[in-house]
Structure 1
Amino acid sequence: MAGRTYAAWLVCAMLLGTAACTPREPEQERIWDESQTGVAACDEPALTPDVLKRQRLADEALRKALLAAGPDPAVEARKAVVAGDFRLAAAMTMDAAHPRLYGAQCRIAGGLDPWMARVIGVEGEDAADDRSGAERAHQSRVASFGRRYNQALLADPRYPYSDVCRPGEDAGKASGAAGLAPEQAYGFPDLASRPIPATLADAARRGDTASLGRMLRSGRHDVNAADMFGLTALAWAIAYRESDAVEALLRAKASPAGSKCQSLLDASSPIQIARSMQWRSEILRMRSMVAPEEFDELAEQPQMFEKEEMTFRLALIELAKRHEEELARQESSVQLVTIAVDDAGKALSCKLEPGTPLPVFDREVCTLAMNVLRFRPARNTFGTAVPGEFTVAVRTMGK
């Protein structure tokens, strides 16, 4: 009995710092609520409860209309623009909202969070063989609407994010800006023509310090306001390596942490973008603006690539089965599996502490971890890859 308990426990693997044992709802069953999930309302204009509620109600009405004869995408796009809603139509996946299936691409590292898009479909739905004819027809109608809606929205001269999202289906198919160099992960390098920058972010991307100065002196622009993608003007200036714009914004008290809804540790905070680009001079410039203990927290230990996690769990189950009888005779314990990782993300060594009375089991756990798990290297406070250690907790259930 103890061996079976152990094997069942290993299904969730108890990875430190994760919620690996928390069950997840089927994505299709909760997809329509994702657009507002995980958003912490604060004083940021785009994330106030009123704005989020208005967007949720508009999205619900749109999805209901798509279940019927179908609304006019051009009319719906114009209504959204008038309401100041510039979110693209997108399909939801397990990790992000993707407009690419509907003819649009956005350069945002990590992809779009659900509340950054109008989620009207689920990625891969039309590949399901068991759908009825009516369901397939609905999915086709949704895809057609999404493409025409995005086309109309992107073509509207009032659309303010043409440097970030454009027509097309080929950029960052899996995760926003996957595979792009850090300096290309936010926005397109060939900036859209714009005679006068419309926002601080526009001016920041162009390094237009004259326009930045005029806007800041007017008092009508919040230097730490984030746009629809969670980036402030300072974050955009850093993403485009516009050092003069960075300097102008820092003098205007732009925060290295980003908006009032963010912290230094957020991936889209200005200082984190500078770290991903290893722009040491700007990191040093911002360092004096944050508390030393906060700056020290930027250092990262190695991180496991998530796609190997399930493989590791299943392999642990098989390993537990092979040693079922021996483990059942031992005292229950928690073993810390610590893996040394070099600055390229390669596992160098492994140790089990405090160790079980079964040396062969300990060796096999370490061999498994070394062979299966892959890592992002540790990074110091300046974003430079350095050696580090990764720890997984494995609990043995015995007598």
Structure 2
Amino acid sequence: MLRRTIAASSLIIVTLAVSACSGGGSSEEETYVEESPAAEPPCADPLADPVTLERYRSADRALKAALAAGRADPIEEAQKAVALGDFRLVAAVTVEGIDTREFGALCALRGGLNPRMARVVTYYGEDGEPSPVPSLEPGDQPSDIASGTPDRAHGDGLVAFARAFNAALISDPAYPYRDVCRVLEPQDADAVGKDLGSAHGAMVRAVSEVPKRDYGFPDLGPFSIGATLADAARRGNVAAMRRMLDDEARSHKKEGSSTKPGAEVAQSSAILDAPDLFGMTPLAWAMAYRRGDAVRFLLARHASPSGAQCQALVDRDSPMQIARSMGWLGMVRRMKPMVSPEDYAALAEGPKLADGSKGSFNSELAKLGDRYGTIFNKDEMTRHSLSFKVDAMGKMASCEFTPKSVSPEFDAEICKLGRTVLEWLPGRDSEGRPQGGEGKVMIRLRGA
């Protein structure tokens, strides 16, 4: 029926409209269950390594098979993940994107997680039910779980598994991202500690509310023995960063990894610009925590304003973009000579949908579909653009629905709906100042 078609399609296409770097199309049959980190251009990102990528995919297939058969132990599965060095949290796809909060974990990351950062096991539709669920009939294969029928009991079981898995993973001493992701509101901290063991349970952190930060939690905790360059950058610990980089450079010199002129600088750059699970380099984290001394030190060591080699200046998590989003214009201008004029000009961007707009619009669009579904051809899917002129304050000045549908009334109502429900953030120029532009939402229609 049109209600379901519109809602699913607008979720997919609106997501692309908001994040122009996403790329690629999607079909209605997509379940997200098979989502895996995608291969990227060569860089220091471990998830771009084909061997690591295949190992994670294999682990994901095994986990989904165990869930489907009802034999997945969350603590055991978390320990397997730690042994692999796989620190992705179990997550679900919702109408708002990738979500771990339903599964007992909170990550402070602007724009939320994407599939490469999580182990996506289910999709929560508008009805709030998970699909697929960990349920197999005798003779079915694990790959068939995508066609499973949502079931409340199984859904509750999946939530229980995911919460226990995420709590065990985050509380493990080897988990390196406790500054970014934490256990969300455990019902009984003592019970959690008892279930996970005293050593693990003592490390579980209860989070009572969403942090008032775009990236990471403000209370970073102690600087651990196994701290990384990113840990030091978040804390603004320049002495620790200098020691780490100098030790690394001496190590490579001692090993004789290269004797070519300039090789030491190149090697240090590779260390500096290594992204973590969230695509953040040490410089990006120093920017996110506004650690001025750390930023200046890293830039002096030739850290890239674009981030990792596989990233671009326009990516949301590049150091330059983070500085712009924070209004740190002095630092943006400091980095300007370090990038090409073309890349700098490309930083200008159009309006974006505000958080929550996609879900609200999809919900109302589904109701509109219920009323108009019978007038469309049910055997033909059509694609339309809903475009708005948005001023520097985020206000919509005009609306256009193209190409027109067979119903002028529907066209008028969908523009009215967009004006009423959608909220836009204004575009920005290269230095982050608000500017007007065009906001666009792509919609697919098919009759009842």
Give the TM interval when normalised to the shorter protein: 0.7 to 0.9
Alpha-carbon shift at residue 209 of structure 1 (Å): 0.2
User: Is the Cα–Cα contact under 8 Å of residues 103 and 150 in structure 1 kept in the other structure?
Assistant: yes
SS in 1 for 2:242: helix
Q: Residue 337 of structure 2 corresponds to which residue in structure 1?
A: 288
Q: Which of residues 122, 133, 145 in structure 1 aligns to 2:161?
A: 145
Q: Which of residues 204, 209, 228 in structure 2 aligns to 1:199?
A: 228
User: What is the rounded CA distance, in whole Å, between the counterparts of 2:400 and 2:97 in structure 1?
Assistant: 36
Alpha-carbon shift at residue 210 of structure 1 (Å): 0.2
1:113-164 Cα offsets, whole Å, 9 max, x none, are: 1121122333368737999998544433322221221121111111111100
* Structure-to-structure mapping, 1:1-399, within 5 angstroms: 24-27=27-30, 30-36=31-37, 38-40=38-40, 42-43=42-43, 44-94=45-95, 96-123=97-124, 127=129, 135-168=151-184, 184-196=213-225, 198-219=227-248, 222-303=271-352, 307=358, 340-348=389-397, 374-390=423-439
User: What is the rounded CA distance, in whole Å, between the counterparts of 1:97 and 1:227 in structure 2?
Assistant: 18
User: What is the rounded CA distance, in whole Å, between the counterparts of 2:321 and 2:175 in structure 1?
Assistant: 27
* Equivalent AA in structure 1 for residue 308 of structure 2: S
Alpha-carbon shift at residue 392 of structure 1 (Å): 8.7
1:309-353 Cα offsets, whole Å, 9 max, x none, are: 76789989x99xx9xxxxxxxxxxxxx99855332101246799x
Distance change >3 Å, CA 366–CA 121, structure 1 → 2: closer
Alpha-carbon shift at residue 368 of structure 1 (Å): 8.0
Q: Residue 325 of structure 1 corresponds to which residue in structure 2?
A: none
Distance change >3 Å, CA 371–CA 68, structure 1 → 2: closer
Q: Residue 328 of structure 1 corresponds to which residue in structure 2?
A: none
1:260-306 Cα offsets, whole Å, 9 max, x none, are: 11001101111001111010111011111001121011111334566
SS in 1 for 2:35: helix
User: What is the rounded CA distance, in whole Å, between the counterparts of 2:36 and 2:114 in structure 1?
Assistant: 8
* Equivalent AA in structure 2 for residue 191 of structure 1: L
Identical positions, percent: 43
Distance change >3 Å, CA 26–CA 295, structure 1 → 2: same
User: Is the Cα–Cα contact under 8 Å of residues 91 and 121 in structure 1 kept in the other structure?
Assistant: yes
User: What is the rounded CA distance, in whole Å, between the counterparts of 1:78 and 1:381 in structure 2?
Assistant: 45
User: Is the Cα–Cα contact under 8 Å of residues 101 and 169 in structure 1 kept in the other structure?
Assistant: no
SS in 1 for 2:112: coil
TM-score (norm 1): 0.73
Q: Residue 3 of structure 1 corresponds to which residue in structure 2?
A: none
User: What is the rounded CA distance, in whole Å, between the counterparts of 1:169 and 1:162 in structure 2?
Assistant: 15
* Equivalent AA in structure 2 for residue 162 of structure 1: R
User: What is the rounded CA distance, in whole Å, between the counterparts of 1:59 and 1:363 in structure 2?
Assistant: 46
User: What is the rounded CA distance, in whole Å, between the counterparts of 1:279 and 1:198 in structure 2?
Assistant: 27
Structure 1, 134-143 or 40-49: larger mean CA deviation: 134-143
User: What is the rounded CA distance, in whole Å, between the counterparts of 1:215 and 1:22 in structure 2?
Assistant: 43
User: What is the rounded CA distance, in whole Å, between the counterparts of 1:393 and 1:98 in structure 2?
Assistant: 23
User: Is the Cα–Cα contact under 8 Å of residues 312 and 373 in structure 1 kept in the other structure?
Assistant: no
Any gaps of 5 or more consecutive residues in structure 2? Answer: 1-8, 137-150, 187-208, 250-267, 376-384, 402-410, 444-448
User: Is the Cα–Cα contact under 8 Å of residues 348 and 429 in structure 2 kept in the other structure?
Assistant: yes
SS in 2 for 1:108: coil
SS in 2 for 1:80: helix
Any gaps of 5 or more consecutive residues in structure 1? Answer: 1-10, 171-177, 323-335, 353-361, 395-399
User: What is the rounded CA distance, in whole Å, between the counterparts of 1:337 and 1:128 in structure 2?
Assistant: 30
User: What is the rounded CA distance, in whole Å, between the counterparts of 2:153 and 2:416 in structure 1?
Assistant: 50
TM-score (norm 2): 0.66
User: What is the rounded CA distance, in whole Å, between the counterparts of 2:70 and 2:386 in structure 1?
Assistant: 57
User: What is the rounded CA distance, in whole Å, between the counterparts of 1:132 and 1:233 in structure 2?
Assistant: 38
User: Is the Cα–Cα contact under 8 Å of residues 351 and 390 in structure 2 kept in the other structure?
Assistant: yes
User: What is the rounded CA distance, in whole Å, between the counterparts of 2:226 and 2:353 in structure 1?
Assistant: 41
Distance change >3 Å, CA 203–CA 389, structure 1 → 2: same
User: What is the rounded CA distance, in whole Å, between the counterparts of 1:102 and 1:373 in structure 2?
Assistant: 28
Aligned pairs, number: 352
Distance change >3 Å, CA 41–CA 290, structure 1 → 2: closer
User: What is the rounded CA distance, in whole Å, between the counterparts of 1:377 and 1:210 in structure 2?
Assistant: 40
Alpha-carbon shift at residue 369 of structure 1 (Å): 7.0
User: Is the Cα–Cα contact under 8 Å of residues 299 and 383 in structure 1 kept in the other structure?
Assistant: yes
User: What is the rounded CA distance, in whole Å, between the counterparts of 2:35 and 2:397 in structure 1?
Assistant: 40
* Equivalent AA in structure 1 for residue 129 of structure 2: A
User: What is the rounded CA distance, in whole Å, between the counterparts of 1:373 and 1:78 in structure 2?
Assistant: 43
1:75-131 Cα offsets, whole Å, 9 max, x none, are: 222222121111112222255332222211111111111121122333368737999
User: What is the rounded CA distance, in whole Å, between the counterparts of 1:40 and 1:130 in structure 2?
Assistant: 28
